[in-house]
Structure 1
Amino acid sequence: MRLSPPVHPMLARSVNELPRARAADRSVFEQKVDGYRVVVFARPGAGFVQSRRGADLSGAFPEIARAAAGLGVEVVLDAELVVFNQQRLDFPALQQRARRRGASAELAARDQPAHLVMFDVLELSGTVLLDRPLHERRTVLENLFVARELGAPWALCPQTADREVARGWLDPAWGAVGVEGVMIKNVMQRYLPGERGWLKLRARMSAEGVIGGVTGEVGAPHAVLLGRFDTGGGLRLIARSTPLSSSAVVELGAVLRPAGAEHPWSERRFAAAWGSREPLDFQVVVPELVAEFAADTAVDRGRYRHPVRYLRLRDDMSVQDLSGP
């Protein structure tokens, strides 16, 4: 095997819509699934699972390392590591599994087995494929599936040249089962480690939440914290917005009211970012205004993983109109 870890995976830059079709267009589309990006090194008797940033995940996912060791061929694969649970991809379960090692990891592998959604091959039987066009690498990958009669935990990422099929993958129904959006790739493109040579379009939807807090000043908020009241009357954080536009700062600064110690979040601490331990500096406001926001489909137990975009106040809705998360 000529490639060795770490191999920096090829990345993508975000776009806001599917690129328009052109006469000479050579684009194909793949599902973007909700998981961990990994590079898998397989050789007879040995398997290694590398994270996007180069960490060794083999101990956390021993069933994947064993599957790679049992593949019977030397190959380097680019894939998304996922856990499937209750009819959808379960990102929180994947996160929990990534922290386990030893006997705990083996137990998790039995109870919540991981799978690999594969979309590229970087080396096969000593031949490095980085300079080969995507359509050739895809053929190699498909042939590997056929020749090895691969099944779970191996899965082949769906790919299509049909824009309407790709547009269908952006439907919220796909988001509900863990398909975050669409990857857009050129069939003639070589593999560029570490470079943003692909495009990605996240599926988006709109929703509503109660404004329960802000970063910055109440009279000039930088971003808003959104929540929903649960059946017990508690206000649960569901999302944090991206920085507000100048017009939104003026609009919200004129109507938000600071809250006191009676606010459900007055003693709460929230992380500054997903997975971070740094506390977020925020001000509580009276939870009386409903806001509409745009978000992607990455929602974990009622909370949006990525920052959402504030759209407008919903003066036609009250906090009682919102169901719990």
Structure 2
Amino acid sequence: MDLTPPFQPMLARPVETMPDGRDLQLDAKWDGYRVIVFARSGAPYLQARRGSDLGAAFPEITREVALLAERGTVVLDAELVVHEGGRLDFGLLQSRARRRGRAAAEAARHNPAHVVVFDVLQIGDEVLLQRSLRERRALLKDLFTHRALGPPWTLCPATTDPQLAREWLSPAWAAVGVEGIVGKPLAGVYRPGARGWVKLRSRASADAVVGAVTGPLMSPTSVLLGRYDQHSKLRLVARSTPLPAALRRELGVVLAAAGPDHPWSAVTFSAGWGTQAVLEHRCVRPATVVEFEGDSAVDSGRYRHPVRIRRVREDLTADEVRGFGGQ
């Protein structure tokens, strides 16, 4: 049977250390949208991870998918990305995903998207889900060679050498939009919807000011971090993961409730990605600096994912923290 949308892609679970094992393929992880590409004659389809159709928002990719289908059916697992200023720009990708019609066509001319392909799920009449990753990778390489695939198609870099993969965790790679690595068993089959892979994000430490907390002030559950912009306005940088007990106690001693003039006193924050719920927070006097660890997904100065607090920086004052937009 042919694969048809909506299709559940295979997923990865996060890990904190480098994946270990000689029988792993390690892929570079790109800062973009996961997509399943259905190149079928008369029915090209660009599916987002959760099943929605992205084709209207990215007409230049839909045209390329249709051209690919002229030489036979292919279903690919890939990452959709947009380049800007020498790096991948997730914010610009999000903006493009909301456009349709003339606006989408205009955006495609000025900021064309690319597709980084890391797996092949069907070629012709053969569904490849029960083939090993080792076999699928070989078929994917052959597909790029025999069909002479060039831009906007890119073959995802992959290796079995952990030392090489560690380079993809470096700040230099993070600066251009490589978020980390994904480890996949070479002998593994493709299991739709299963978390059979592992992912390790590149992480780096930075400093910010505690501007608000969730939970009780004397033992905060998490913190909201800020930095001052060029107009001396405190801007949200990140929210933290739940704090360990020792940090809750330490922060509970040094944090003080803010007055009504706090810049966030009348501001509402979303409780999470994709939800309309409002986060209940308590503003604190922005005088306490903490060091945190975050991944490389930073959009216009703000960390997309929750960050981990490492320690309170008693040696720094708020005016010594880098300005908004700095790392």
TM-score by length of 1: 0.97
> What CA distance in whole angstroms lies between the structure 2 residues aligned with 1:320 and 1:282?
23
Aligned to 1:153: 152
Aligned to 2:121: 122
Aligned to 1:20: 20
2:35–2:77 Cα contact (<8 Å) kept: yes
Structure 1: segments with no counterpart, 5+ residues: none
- 1:34 maps onto 2:35 in alignment: no
> What CA distance in whole angstroms lies between the structure 1 residues aligned with 2:315 and 2:112?
46
> What CA distance in whole angstroms lies between the structure 2 residues aligned with 1:128 and 1:189?
15
Aligned to 1:59: 56
What per-residue deviation string (whole Å, max 9, x for no partner) do you get for residues 58-81 of structure 1? 111111111000012210000001
1:75–1:125 Cα contact (<8 Å) kept: yes
SS of 2:278's partner is coil
SS of 2:19's partner is coil
> What CA distance in whole angstroms lies between the structure 2 residues aligned with 1:221 and 1:26?
43
Aligned to 2:8: 8
SS of 2:254's partner is coil
Equivalent position amino acid for 2:98 in 1: R
Aligned to 1:105: 104
Equivalent position amino acid for 1:249 in 2: R
Aligned to 2:134: 135
Compute the displacement of 1:45 (Å).
4.3
Structure 2: segments with no counterpart, 5+ residues: none
Structure-to-structure mapping, 1:282-297, within 5 angstroms: 282-297=281-296
SS of 2:248's partner is helix
Structure-to-structure mapping, 1:1-325, within 5 angstroms: 2-21=2-21, 25-71=22-68, 72=70, 73-325=72-324
Note the aligned Cα RMSD (angstroms). Answer: 1.1
Q: Percent identity?
A: 54
> What CA distance in whole angstroms lies between the structure 2 residues aligned with 1:4 and 1:87?
35
SS of 2:150's partner is coil
Equivalent position amino acid for 1:78 in 2: D
> What CA distance in whole angstroms lies between the structure 2 residues aligned with 1:115 and 1:128?
25
SS of 1:46's partner is coil
Instruction: Detail structure 1 runs of 4+ shifted over 3 Å in the superposition.
Output: none
Corresponding pairs, count: 322
Compute the displacement of 1:84 (Å).
0.7
Compute the displacement of 1:275 (Å).
4.1
2:19–2:198 Cα contact (<8 Å) kept: no
1:46–1:65 Cα contact (<8 Å) kept: no
Compute the displacement of 1:289 (Å).
0.7
